[in-house]
Copies of this chain bind each other. A is one copy, B any other.
Amino acid sequence: MPNDTWQPPSVLLTVDLVIFTLRSSALHVLLVERGIEPYKGEAALPGGFIADVGEDIVDAARRELREEADLDAAKLHLEQLGTYGRPDRDPRGRIVSVAYLAIAPGLPEPEAGTDASAAFWCPVAEVASGHRPLAFDHRQILDDGLERARAKIEHTALATAFCTPSFTIAELQRVYEAVWGFELDPRNFYRKVQSVPGFLVPVGADRRTTKGRPARLFRADPWQGLRPPILRPLSPSRNEEV
């Protein structure tokens, strides 16, 4: 119990980032190969210490994203995922980390930045299957981030953040399938997303591919809410894919 001379202990504060994107229809997460101890050479989520005592936490997350992966976080929506503060989570001492979640459209290989040896997109399935161990408690953070993303695209238009500025409904469906991990009926999906008022805005043009009928293009605001939501099936017949 604190007495008159007691002073509150201080801790070190880091941010960690769960950045998802879609590459050739598969969900990927941004990882870095750690350039310093501990866990040097192993894979980890991008992140790092706040720069100074006056830096806002979400600003630190944006800065780390720029430094470690050369991604401009200005357009990315960072959502707080949770805080991970187990006393033994970092061998260097008491380090508490605030995790953020973000969604990025399909992008080429990120440039390795200043802090990390290398940044790269890793298939989420590779981590989930245990083939790719992660440093610290980052496996847990990634799992929490995946579940958050799965729930989030039900109630908001966040899935469109995976897409190019204008996209077809089939492209949007591939996002939902990659994040949820099972296939959907294209015809029912088509009408379901169209029926949500204010979700999809027709852009008046078509996208032509080498095969088949051209598809209408749409755009959307990724941060808009969806009413009614696009709920994933709970139990029924769903074709697993991830």
| Chain A residues with a Cβ under 8 A of chain B | 1-2, 8-14, 49-57, 67, 80, 82-83, 85-87, 93-94, 96, 98, 114, 227-228, 234-235
| Known A-B contacts A85-B98, A94-B54; A12 and B10 likewise in contact (beta carbons under 8 Å) | yes
CB-CB < 8 A to A51: which residues of B?
2, 9
- Between-chain CB contacts (< 8 Å), 10 pairs: A2-B51, A8-B49, A9-B49, A9-B50, A11-B11, A11-B12, A54-B94, A55-B87, A57-B96, A83-B83
> Given contacts A96-B57, A228-B234, A235-B227, is CB(A9)–CB(B52) below 8 Å?
yes
Residues of B within 8 A of A12 (CB): 8-11
How far apart are A174's CB and chain B's nearest CB, in angstroms? 27
Find the residue from A14, A53, A67 having the highest chain B CB count within 10 A: A53
Q: How far is the CA of A12 from the CA of B11 in the complex (A)?
A: 6
A227 nearest CB neighbor, chain B only: B234
Give how many copies assemble into the complex: 2
For residue A129, give the distance in angstroms from its CB to the closest CB of chain B: 25
Whether A53 contacts B94 by the Cβ 8 Å rule is yes
Known: A10-B12, A96-B13. A85 touches B56 (CB 8 A): yes
Contacts of A235 in B (CB 8 A): 227
Give Cα distance in the complex from A180 to B72, angstroms: 39
The CA of A53 and the CA of B52, in the complex, are separated in Å by: 20
Give chain B residues whose Cβ lies under 8 Å from the Cβ of A67. 1
| B residues near A114, Cβ cutoff 8 Å | 1
Bound Cα distance from A67 to B2, whole angstroms: 11
B83 x A98 contact (CB < 8 A) = yes
Least CB distance, A237 to chain B, in whole angstroms:
16
Residues of B within 8 A of A54 (CB): 87, 94
A191 to chain B, nearest CB (A): 19
Would you call A56 and B234 a contact (CB within 8 A)? no
| Chain B residue with Cβ nearest A114 | B1
**Residue from the set A55, A57, A234, A235 with the largest chain B CB neighbour count within 10 Å:** A57
